[in-house]
Amino acid sequence: MVRATPAPVPAASPLYFYPTRGQTEALQDRDRYECYRWAVRETGTDPGMTPLRQAPMRMAQAAPVRSDAGDVLGGAATGALIGAALSSPRNAGGNAVLGAIFGAVVGAATGEARNRAIDAAQARQDAADANARARAPQPNFRRAVAACMQGRGYTVQ
């Protein structure tokens, strides 16, 4: 089975802080740290860690029941009925067997195709969910850090 890989998340450009009030190196370091922690609390996102708040959960969709045996048995039964119905009464038994074999093969192929489609759809949904989780929190976090640093007397670029 081939799994879709999520598209890479583009790297955000770095934020630059310029002290406008003559802040010392030590104060700049402390301000960056405190603004980082404040932005984490405000947005629930820590870019270096796992999210503190979970993204809204989408409703889990019940996966269709994978009944491979049912597909095979249903195909065999249908094939046997058709084989017996379309043949002469003298050859009904043999044609029913041939119909059952052919129906079982068709039923198995149909079930496998459906299972592949389900797997592909799930992989696409997983990739879309991962992409959305990776992209969503960053802009809010960056805006929060920038606002905090501006409030402490820095020009932010």
Token pair, residue 73, equals 């048995």
> Among residues 27, 9, 3, 37, which one has the least CA distance to residue 138?
9
Judged against a pLDDT cut of 80, whether residue 135 lies above it is answered with no
Supply the pLDDT for residue 52: 47
Q: What distance in Å separates the CA atoms of residue 9 and residue 140, rounded to the nearest whole number? A: 16
Percent share of the chain, pLDDT over 90? 26
More confident residue, 29 or 136: 29
User: pLDDT at position 133, please?
Assistant: 60
- Tell me how far apart the alpha carbons of residues 101 and 35 are, in angstroms, rounded to a whole number: 70
Which one of 17-21, 45-49, 55-59, 76-80 scores highest in mean pLDDT?
17-21
Choice between 124 and 136, residue whose per-residue pLDDT is larger: 124
d(CA 135, CA 129): 10
pLDDT, position 117: 85
Angstrom distance (rounded) from CA 34 to CA 76: 70
- Tens of pLDDT, residue by residue over 2-17, are 555 555 545 567 889 9
- Of the candidate ranges 17-21, 40-44, 56-60, 75-79, the one whose mean pLDDT is the lowest: 56-60
Whole-number average pLDDT of the chain: 77
What is the arithmetic mean of pLDDT over 142-146? 93
Q: Are 1 and 121 in contact (CB under 8 A)?
A: no
